[in-house]
């Protein structure tokens, strides 16, 4: 049985850890509220923009050339990997990395073997992991989440679209976490480019809408499609940030509870050790008195 000093030291250490986890939980909860607010504001806009994009593509009879929806043989692929910069958020980062590895090993396995897969990590954890995967790495935007805003994401989306149009890569995938609630996140690998047109040929709910374009269809499409790509990438980033804070808040809450359970166990152990020490001292005193009387 450990002595009293050792148990007291462990109790003090657990109390300090519990205070830290409580503080981290409160900080994450505060950040989560802000991130959730941003998501709730952008989701209706992205959903409506997606609907308009689908309707326009469904009604396109070929007179409008939409280069970002061009499907060609994939010789080079880019994977945008969104992760956090810090840990202590449960299995958040490991699940994102698992989704990215599954995408690369399954869907992009042949390209990986020929060295034609590039990973663009957004977040330090993704960058650290991707360096071990044997793929090309574009590390220009690793620190994006240190100051996330739409202009920064818009610049990245411009880079992706320009690279696609210049045929530097033929497909772009985004690995991100979709926020459901603080305890639930969905880890996805989504195709960003080329823009999907599957299921739109007469099957879209709004495919019979006859748009009146002003000033002209070509100019509208030229602005609509790039804006859609930028908004989609920004939404993925916002979802990932909210998911990170939700995962960290949940992890710190569980850690706080576990620390409380450990404290109960340690205090019980301390009381037992103290009782044993008192019993031993009493036995020694009684034994000493008996020896003197004898």
Parse the chain into domains and list their residue ranges: 4-23+252-293, 35-250
pLDDT score recorded for residue 137: 95
Residue 89 annotated to the active site:
yes
Least confident window among 50-59, 136-145, 238-247, 271-280: 50-59
Burial tier of 189 (Cβ tally within 10 Å: 0-12, 13-18, 19+): buried
pLDDT at 241 over 90: yes
pLDDT at 207 over 90: no
Say which residue, 28 or 285, is predicted with more confidence.
28
For residue 230, give both structure tokens. Answer: 């930028």
Which residues are 79's β-sheet partners?
Answer: 119, 173
pLDDT score recorded for residue 64: 66
What CATH number was assigned to the domain covering residues 35-250?
A: 3.40.1380.10
Assess contact for 157 and 226: CB atoms under 8 A.
yes
Three-state SS for the chain is CCCHHHHHHHHHHHHHHHHHHHHHHHHHHHHHHHHHHHHHHHHHHHHHHHHHHHHHHHHCCCCCCCHHHCCCCCCCEEEEEECCCCCCCCCHHHHHHHHHHHHHHHHCHHHHHCCCEEEEEECHHHHHHHCCCCCEECCCCCCHHHHCCHHHHHHHHHHHHHHHHCCCCCEEEEEEEEEEECCEEEEEEEEEECCCCCCCCCCCCCCCCCCCCCCCHHHHHHHHHHHHHHHHHHHHHHHHHHHHHHHHHHHHHHHHHHHHHHHHHHHHHHHHHHHHHHHHHHHHHHHHHHHHHC
Assess contact for 267 and 4: CB atoms under 8 A.
no
* Span 4-23+252-293 CATH architecture: Orthogonal Bundle (1.10)
Q: Scanning the structure block, which residue is given the tokens 């008996």?
A: 290
Q: What is the pLDDT of residues 78-95, one digit of tens each?
A: 999 999 999 889 899 999
pLDDT at 223 over 70: yes
Catalytic position from the list 14, 58, 89, 157: 89
Distance CA 128, CA 184 (A): 25
Distance CA 197, CA 97 (A): 28
For residue 225, give both structure tokens. Answer: 């499609």
Confidence of residue 209 (pLDDT cuts 50, 70, 90): low
* pLDDT averaged over every residue in the chain: 87
Confidence of residue 201 (pLDDT cuts 50, 70, 90): very low
Distance CA 200, CA 204 (A): 5
Which residues are 117's β-sheet partners?
Answer: 77
Distance CA 232, CA 193 (A): 11
Task: Give the CB-side neighbour count of residue 97, counting CA atoms within 13 A.
Answer: 16
For residue 249, give both structure tokens. Answer: 């808040």
Contacts of 164 (CB under 8 A, 6+ apart): 68, 170, 172, 193, 194
């Amino acid at each position: 049985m450990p002595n009293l000093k050792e148990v007291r030291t462990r109790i003090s250490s657990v109390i300090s850890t519990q205070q830290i986890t409580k503080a981290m939980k409160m900080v994450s909860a505060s950040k989560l509220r802000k991130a959730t607010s941003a998501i709730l504001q952008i989701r209706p806009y992205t959903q409506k923009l997606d609907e308009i994009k689908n309707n326009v593509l469904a009604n396109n009879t070929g007179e409008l050339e939409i280069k970002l929806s061009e499907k060609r043989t994939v010789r080079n692929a880019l994977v945008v990997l969104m992760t956090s910069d810090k840990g202590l958020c449960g299995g958040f980062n490991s699940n994102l990395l698992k989704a990215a590895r599954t995408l690369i090993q399954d869907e992009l396995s042949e390209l990986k073997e020929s060295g034609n897969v590039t990973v663009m990590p957004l977040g330090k954890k993704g960058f650290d992991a991707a360096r071990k995967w044997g793929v090309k790495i574009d590390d220009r935007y690793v620190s994006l989440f240190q100051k996330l805003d739409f202009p920064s994401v818009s610049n990245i989306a411009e880079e992706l679209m320009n690279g696609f149009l210049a045929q530097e890569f033929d497909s772009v995938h985004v690995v991100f976490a979709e926020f459901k609630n603080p305890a639930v996140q969905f880890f996805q690998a989504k195709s960003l480019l080329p823009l999907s047109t599957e299921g739109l040929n007469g099957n879209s709910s709004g495919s019979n809408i006859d748009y009146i374009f002003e000033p002209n269809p070509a100019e509208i499409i030229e602005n609509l499609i790039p804006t859609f790509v930028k908004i989609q990438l920004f939404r993925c980033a916002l979802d990932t940030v909210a998911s990170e804070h939700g995962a960290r808040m949940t992890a710190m809450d569980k850690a706080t509870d576990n620390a409380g359970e450990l404290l109960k166990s340690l205090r019980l152990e301390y009381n037992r050790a103290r009782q044993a020490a008192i019993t031993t001292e009493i036995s020694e005193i009684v034994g000493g008195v008996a020896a003197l009387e004898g």
